[in-house]
Amino acid sequence: MHDRALTVDDVITATRSVLRRKRTEEVRVDPGSRFDSLGIDSLEMIEILIAIEDATGAVIPDSELPDVKTISDLASCHATRLQDTGASQYRM
């Protein structure tokens, strides 16, 4: 069971992992990186979310994704949901 908040480093790690499988060149990923600027499509975003869930247990509801534009947004979205609803909802 995982019970910690998702960090920016978690999101960066998952994003780099997906990008490495899809791209031949190295892409710079930092907290302010926009997913659309990185060329992340909807399928790759799902892959990122699955990688995050596998690594940390953090679950991001699909309903939150329209507001997520950057690496930091994704981590902040999860932290806000934990505060608002309690961590138990997001544990595996």
pLDDT digits (tens, 9 = 90+) for 37-78: 999 999 999 999 998 888 888 888 888 888 899 999 998 887
Distance in angstroms (rounded) separating the CA atoms of residues 39 and 3 = 31
pLDDT at 92 over 50: no
pLDDT, tens digit, for every residue of 18-35? 999 877 788 899 999 999
Q: Is residue 79 part of a domain?
A: yes
Query: Would 61 be classed as within a structural domain?
Result: yes
- Residue 70's domain comprises 8-86
E strands, 1-92, where? none
Beta bridge partners of 34: 70
Assigned domain for 70 exists: yes
Q: If we measure between CA atoms, which residue out of 38, 36, 34, 46 comes closest to residue 19?
A: 38
Q: What is the largest CA-CA distance in the chain?
A: 40
Q: Is residue 1 part of a domain?
A: no
CATH of the domain at 47: 1.10.1200.10
Could you tell me if residue 82 is inside a domain? yes
Q: How many domains does the chain have?
A: 1
Inside any domain, residue 50: yes
